[in-house]
Structure 1
Amino acid sequence: MNVLPRGYWCECWTQNLDRDQRPALHASFDAYSAAQADRWIAVALRTISPALDTAASEQAWQWLYEGRIETRRALVRAESCSVAVDQAGTRITWTVRPVIFLPLVHRQNVELPACAYEFKPRASD
């Protein structure tokens, strides 16, 4: 029996709080353990913290010192988590969701489904 690998899908979003703009995705990462997922956030926060204003830096370090363990526990329980920092009218949010990674089909020596042959490349201009 083939067991599908479980993991975590991690994303980093920003949103301008002063203007009513939609969030923008800046990064995504596939983690294969709770430790790897929360480490991704921790590295990002440690990296940007020197450039943050005082309040945002305090938000970052509060999560690093106090909130990180609860995030890890939630991830181990297969719960989604998010961490946010507000900097100069912009909210930076890291999200982590538990996922099941589906393997891709190897294309050599395998018959593709019929629909694969219905694809017609667009003519070049």
Structure 2
Amino acid sequence: MNALPRGYWCECWTQNLDKDQRPALHASFDAHSAVQADRWIAIALRTISPALDAAASEQAWEWLYAGRIDTRRALLRAEPCSVTVDQASTRITWTVRPVIFLPLAHRQGIELPACAYDFKPHATDV
């Protein structure tokens, strides 16, 4: 039997610190390698850094130049990690954690099993 593929689940969260708001998920990404996971964060940080204030931009570039190495090492050890930048009252956090991807059946061009047609929606579901 083939081993299940390993990878990394990446998310980007924001939180308004002034309003004591719960974090909100803004993006997610399934990376198939540590390199791909850390590159996802790096591209996001490089993209937004021109719009950040001086302190947040410094946080971003500090991670890009130095913190990225520690992040990559943690990912290669299959440890979860995160990167956070505070822009005014907004906290932006990228998280990466190791996962095992479960394969799903590809449904295009394949006939569904007979049991799939047994479900009949209720009138209120339509």
TM over 0.5: yes
SS at match of 2:18: coil
For the pair 1:5 / 2:1, whether they are aligned, the reply is no
SS at match of 1:18: coil
Q: Deviations over 1:57-87 (max 9, x none)?
A: 0000000001000000000000000000000
Identity %: 80
Per-residue Cα deviation, 1:6-59 (whole angstroms, up to 9, x for no partner): 000000000000011111100000000000000000000000000000000000
Question: What stretches of structure 2 of length at least 5 have no aligned partner?
Answer: none
Counterpart check, 1:85 vs 2:74: no
Which amino acid in structure 1 is aligned with residue 103 of structure 2?
A: P
Question: Unpaired segments of 5 or more residues in structure 1?
Answer: none
CA RMSD in angstroms, aligned pairs only? 1.8
Q: Give the residue type in structure 1 aligned to 2:94.
A: W
**TM norm structure 2:** 0.89
Amino acid in structure 2 at the alignment position of 1:53: D
Indicate the residue corresponding to 1:101 in structure 2: 101
Matches within 5 A, 1:15-30: 15-30=15-30
For 1:51 and 1:36, locate their aligned partners in 2 and report how far apart those are by CA, in whole Å: 24
Cα separation, 1, equivalents of 2:120 and 2:73:
48
- How many residues end up aligned between the 2 structures? 123
Question: After TM superposition, which residue ranges in structure 1, 4 or more long, deviate above 2 angstroms?
Answer: 105-112, 116-125
Deviation at 1:2, TM superposition (A): 1.1
Query: Please, what TM-score do these two structures have when normalized by structure 1?
Result: 0.90
